[in-house]
Amino acid sequence: MTEEMVIQIGTNALTTMVYLAGPVLLAAMAVGIVISILQAVTQINEQTLTFIPKMIAVILTLIVMAPWMLRILQDYAIAIFGNAGEIVH
C-alpha cells in the first residue's frame, strides 16, 4: 500500500461522507434559518420551536434522498472491496 493509495482512500471516504451528510445538513440549516427569521419578525423567543420542523425536514430529506444516498454508499463499498487485493499488498 503506497501513500497515494492511502490519500486516495481517505479522499474518497471524505467525499462520500460529504455527499451523504450534505443534503440532510443543508435541509436542517435551511429550516433553521427560516424559523429563526420568523422568530425575529414575530419576536417569539422560544428555543425549542425549531426542533420539530428541523426533524420533519431531516426525515423528509432522508426519505426523498435515500435511493441516491444508497447508490453512493454502494459505489463506495464496491470500490473499496473491489480494490481490497491491491490495498492489502
Q: What is the pLDDT of residues 4-49, one digit of tens each?
A: 888 999 999 999 999 999 999 999 999 999 999 999 999 888 888 8
Residue 37: what pLDDT? 93
Residue 76 belongs to what domain range?
A: 3-88
Rounded Cα distance, 25 and 76, in Å: 21
Rounded Cα distance, 39 and 85, in Å: 56
The domain total for the chain is 1
Q: pTM for this structure? A: 0.80
CB 45 within 8 A of CB 39: yes
